[in-house]
Amino acid sequence: MSEILQQTPLFAEHEAQGARFVPYAGFRMPVQYRGVSEEHNAVRRAAGLFDVSHMGRLIFEGPEAVALVDGAITNDFARVAVGRAVYTCCCNESGGILDDLIVYRLAPERVLVVCNAANHDKIATHLQALAKGRASFEDISRRTGLIAVQGPRALELLAAVGCELAVAADLPKNRVRETRLMGLGVTMARTGYTGEDGVEVVVAQENAAALWRGLLDAGKALGGVEPIGLAARDTLRLEARLSLYGNEIDETTNPFEAGLGWTVKLGAGDFIGKAALARLAQQAPSRQIVGFEMTGRGIARHGYPLQDASGAVIGQCTSGAPSPTLGKSIGLGYVPPSHAAIGSELLVDCRGRSVPARVVETPFYRRSA
């Protein structure tokens, strides 16, 4: 029996714009419109709009809301001021990553957790159980939309549609505010997943399509503002060396080997998985994530074996693609520490053909200030 796929509030907009669709995390999502490179370059050059309404949005409210969320994540949320956001991991007792989250403190006793679409049910169930008897829980995912506006002209685009905030001054990076955009009440956060500046906007479901159309219409005057599908979203986040759940991280992965040790605050309060992570922090990792570029002709893909010079398998590629910005093929993968130094030579088994690659510094792309 075929899976019944959900649709976001913007599905009709994507259809009207000629999107190609794919099943993704239980949704029918746009994978591309004009083409991956064209959409990717639009974000790097001007701005792009992303429908990320498939992601989970969970609200916790009450005197213990901050404490219960703090006890479920690796970062130190207890010290986060109202109006700020943190990126973090949510781990199991053994230190494996259940999901990576962005957590926003909307008010002294009100918290928004944004989780990955593929982990929505798992994280909602996990956190709701922790909230029982301590704080109210509301899953607002289906009654809201979530639109990301990303790119060097993103803030200019927001101003063009009548943003109540002067975003550059009023909303520094990793801040969140309730405001009005096109006259619509929204929750706006200066976060993102592309390596560019921009915001993510939570809007009521019934207003999502109007906001989407208004942003696209205003973008015509700026030039190059386009809707962006999942494929370009993936190449953008890969260039920025941002993890994708199910690729770089999962429940078999701990934050230290994944390059996310900075999200683990062992000196703060207690949290699920802290004891295991404290032990792991004292151990040399058996593997670690690295970025590499292909020096031979080939494209690394998720799941391709990584080899040493003799052809022995030493690891696995977690993500890989041609980089539209850099004009070369790049990838991420896990290797032993002995092969993780910058400049280390690897081979990528591209369907039976060993193609040379080299470990390089990440992120692969950094936007100019």
pLDDT at residue 224 in the model: 84
CB atoms within 10 A of CB 269: 13
233-243 pLDDT, tens digit each: 999 999 999 99
pLDDT of 223 strictly over 90 = no
Residue range 314-329: average pLDDT? 98
**Residues 6 or more apart in contact with residue 96 via CB below 8 angstroms:** 250, 251, 252, 253, 254, 273
Residue range 127-148: average pLDDT? 98
User: Is the whole-model pTM more than 0.95?
Assistant: yes
Residue range 172-190: average pLDDT? 97
pLDDT at residue 275 in the model: 98
The pLDDT confidence band at residue 368, using thresholds 50, 70 and 90, is confident
pLDDT at residue 257 in the model: 98
pLDDT at residue 3 in the model: 75
pLDDT of 212 strictly over 70 = yes
Amino acid at 353: R
pLDDT at residue 100 in the model: 98
The pLDDT confidence band at residue 2, using thresholds 50, 70 and 90, is low
Cβ proximity of 316 and 305 under 8 Å: yes
pLDDT at residue 302 in the model: 98
Taken in order of first residue, the domains within the chain and their CATH numbers are 1-282 (3.30.1360.120), 284-360 (2.40.30.110)
pLDDT of 344 strictly over 80 = yes
